[in-house]
Amino acid sequence: MKGFRVVTTAIAAASWFAASAVAQLDPIVIKGSKFFYKTNGTEFFIKGVAYQQDFTGNGSTTSNANGGYTDPLADAAGCARDVPLLQQLQTNTIRVYAVDPTKDHSECMSLLTNAGIYVILDLGNPTVSINRDTPEWNEDIYVRYASVIDGFSNYTNTLGFFAGNEVSNAPNNTAASAFVKAAVRDMKAYIVNKKYRPMGVGYATDDDDTRTELADYFNCGPAEDSIDFWGYNIYSWCGTSSYSASQYEARTQEFSTYNVPAFFAEYGCNKVEPRPFDEVLELFGTNMTKVWSGGIIYMYFQETNNYGLVSIGSDNKATTNKDFDNLSTQIAKVNPTGPNFASYTPSNSPQACPTTSTWQAATALPPTPNEAICSCMMSSLKCAAKSSLSDTDVAKQFAYICSPTVGGVNNCEGILANGTTGAYGAYSMCNGTERLSWAYNQYYLNQTSTNTQNNQACDFSGTAQTQSAKAASSCASITSQAGAQGTGTVTNAPAATGISGSGNGNGGSGGTSSTSKAAAIVLTVPAFDFGILKLAAYVTSAMLVGVGMVLL
């Protein structure tokens, strides 16, 4: 990790100087439920387009050298080709679903800046994100999310970040929202701790039966734990419809008391083709601009799902289609206006946390992933998992060691996280190999407490080995607060920084990876949702450092 840190620091420096040489966009600021240009105080309405290539219609991505997704902001030639077309659509914002923080984005960000286009970035990638079926908020996901913030914080046209996209999409998986909200909390704190220009961290949801509870949950409670803005993926206006029939009126009424900016993070139903985009006039009309801050059309690139505005040929040239023409015509008709920053007085308050019988997520959130805590834990163990274990081996051993019948005790209380009850082990945010090591050690201690000669207690079919417990003196308070069972709360560990990954150098379990050795309890490849699409691919990611939204 040390060598990697040097490389990314060098890339970050180059990116910083490149970004410093381009024109700076006026940062977008938040006041109450509205966005504003910082300098002149004019209200900012998002006229956006989703911008990510290599989608297919079957819920996967086209295979490529990056391991499953194409980072559009690392493709300078593509940006040079596309930015003029985005300008024809009067685009002032693009949404990008996955970027590679190890790559140079300065040229694309410069082109976008010079064109007056802001960027909203999703923090995850297809394999390192919070999985609704087996949710975790762990070291490796934390590092991934922090690395995206590092890489784009220096650009003044970075409008903000999504910490999750449609993670909870049904009543039976709303508990996953506790983990996403913890990510919101920690990425907001990360931006503050790194002394970056304040930038918003939000969440994007789909249009399902849990929409009201989701919106309330992410907005309720302490401000430092809740979202800075809310993205709504909505496809209810198809072809020729109306404010009422499309449910736009009902949704507008629901969000009329929301106290942070809300906008359509995706819209543009294609049940009628070509799309007439009649909804554009309503979204940017007087019925909705009092509540909504615009929206993002899905999507720029034409793929097999037929949502594209532009087709890219084998010669890498762009050809616009009828959808592009229709959107261009409709967007040219709108000129939304709102109050000035100085004259606007917010009156809405945070929502109350949901209490419906179908809502599963607790208000208590998972702990902040912290390398120091996990490193101290690992150094205190007498029995640990071998670092060479495959993902399959780790998952298999978890299924065994966490069974309540193994050894007659609960070996895993200190590493499990329950988003429904709000009970989280002190080490539940460590990576998979570290957590498996904790469980092994709990079993080992129990078995040797009455028989110190038991040489088989740390074997587990050759997947574990004994080690000398050599916790540093600085770890004493951490392990003491965590407790012998790992169920305590650690309050005096160093602040999490996202500088490196796990304490023992192994990968994590936000998703499985061909290079990771820490699959933890996740037994399935996580589905990373891109609006109405699902993407499942294998990819590794790293980090970058940089320095760009003021929250008032």
For this structure, is 166 an active site residue?
Answer: yes
Task: Kindly report the backbone phi and psi dihedral angles of residue 423, in degrees, each rounded to the nearest multiple of 5, phi listed first.
Answer: -100, 125
d(CA 44, CA 30): 10
User: Which is nearest to 344 in space by CA: 118, 93, 552, 47?
Assistant: 552
Three-state SS at 533? strand
125, 98 contact by CB (below 8 A) = yes
Count of CB atoms situated within 10 Å of the CB of 331: 18
Which one is catalytic: 43, 139, 166, 279?
166
Query: Which amino acid, 316?
Result: N
Which one is catalytic: 43, 213, 266, 279?
266
- Establish how many alpha carbons lie within 13 A of residue 21's alpha carbon, considering only the half-sphere containing its beta carbon: 9
Q: Name the β-bridge partners of 266.
A: 233
418, 135 contact by CB (below 8 A) = no
User: Which is nearest to 520 in space by CA: 416, 405, 446?
Assistant: 416
Q: What is the dihedral of CA 313, 317, 318, 321, to 10 degrees?
A: -50
Strands (E), 192-341: 200-205, 230-233, 262-267, 292-297, 310-312, 318-320
For this structure, is 107 an active site residue?
Answer: no
Tokens at 238, concatenated: 């198809």
d(CA 276, CA 325): 9
CA-to-CA dists, residue 526 to 92, 142, 510, angstroms: 32, 16, 8
Catalytic residue positions, numbered = 166, 266
